Amino acid sequence: MPELVLILIRSISAFILLLIMTRIMGKKQLSQLTFFDYCVGITIGSIAATMSVDQNVKIANGLVSLTIWGLFPITLAFIGLKSRGFLRLTDGRPAIIIKDGEIFEETMKKNQLAINELMLLLREKGIFKVADVEMAIMETNGELSVMKKTELDPITPKLLGMSIEKEHAPTVLIMDGEILTTNLSALGYSKEWLEGEIFKQGATSIEDVFLAQVDSKGELYVDLYHERMKQNKIEERPLLAASLKKLQADLESFSLETENTDAKKMYKEQAKSLQNTIDSILPYLK
């Protein structure tokens, strides 16, 4: 068998087995990578690379080795779910590095953590003063979890006792020039409404829209395929303001033109009332 064909077969076999093991291991192996998981990952990658190009290693032996190393973390994770003591033995324990703004130097030495590294980890969390830290814990995967002191927590509506309107996640209504009818129906919007909204923002058809997304307040975000089309976007609010001002001016004109006293009075009152309305909402129409 030609050497290139053999390498191709070996590589495909290793890739397929790695893919299967990755799916079996699950996302936890990526999101919570401990030192043991890191070593296992390097070893598995080394075995797969060696099996792909080293013809002195039999394909069967390489596959068996990959399988064994892939089963190790799966087996240990399963046992760890059943035994907390075994989990502490394999993954270790979290260590408190800072408490009430005080650094525990002995704990840092046990975890081989230098002060410069600690300050780096704190800065990554947006903390520059150790005195601001209520507690900092070195997790088993090497991440530093930090809790700020209570008085430094940001003010939230809940803290102020305020009730706010709940929002749902933004929903995509158009993607790649196609309407997602399921999402449109679920939110209770019609196709005619959607077309009207995108036309106001410069689109000439559904096919012109790359992405359209609506939030919980009904505000529609539209991204067109061609940026130049956005220059034709219709500004609704300024147009509404101009229309109201024109209507108010027409009422004043009618009051001056008519000879009927009652009509003149009515036009003046309506013009004044409309002017007050315009003055109150004008800041929102700019």
Q: State the average pLDDT over residues 27-31.
A: 54
- CATH for 95-152 (3.40.190.10, 3.30.240.20, 3.20.20.450, 3.40.50.1000): 3.30.240.20
Same fold, 95-152 and 171-232: yes
Q: How far is CA 78 from CA 66, 75, 176, in A?
A: 19, 5, 43
10-19 average pLDDT score: 81
- Give mean pLDDT, residues 96-122: 91
Three-class secondary structure of residue 113 per DSSP: coil
3-state DSSP call for residue 177?
coil
Report for 24-28, 130-134, 217-221: range of highest mean pLDDT = 130-134
Neighbours of 51 (CB within 10 A): 22
* Single-letter amino acid, residue 45: G
pLDDT value at position 173?
Answer: 93
Least confident of 24-33, 75-84, 116-125, 141-150: 24-33
Q: Which of 70-79, 180-189, 238-247 has the lowest mean pLDDT?
A: 238-247
pLDDT band at 228 (very low <50, low <70, confident <90, very high): very low
Alpha-carbon torsion 160, 162, 168, 172, what sign?
A: negative
Q: Where are the domains of the chain?
A: 3-89, 95-152, 171-232, 236-285
Give the pLDDT score at 232.
46
* Contact (Cβ atoms closer than 8 angstroms) between residue 76 and residue 29: no
Q: Rounded distance, CA 13 to CA 19, Å?
A: 10
Q: 92: closest CA among 25, 26, 142, 145?
A: 142
Architecture of domain 171-232: 2-Layer Sandwich (3.30)
Handedness of CA 23, 28, 34, 36 (dihedral sign): negative
The Cα–Cα gap between 228 and 224 comes to 9
CB 180 within 8 A of CB 174: yes
Give the sign of the dihedral formed by CA 236, CA 239, CA 244, CA 247. negative
| Token couple for 70 | 């892939």
Residue 169 has pLDDT above 90, yes or no: no
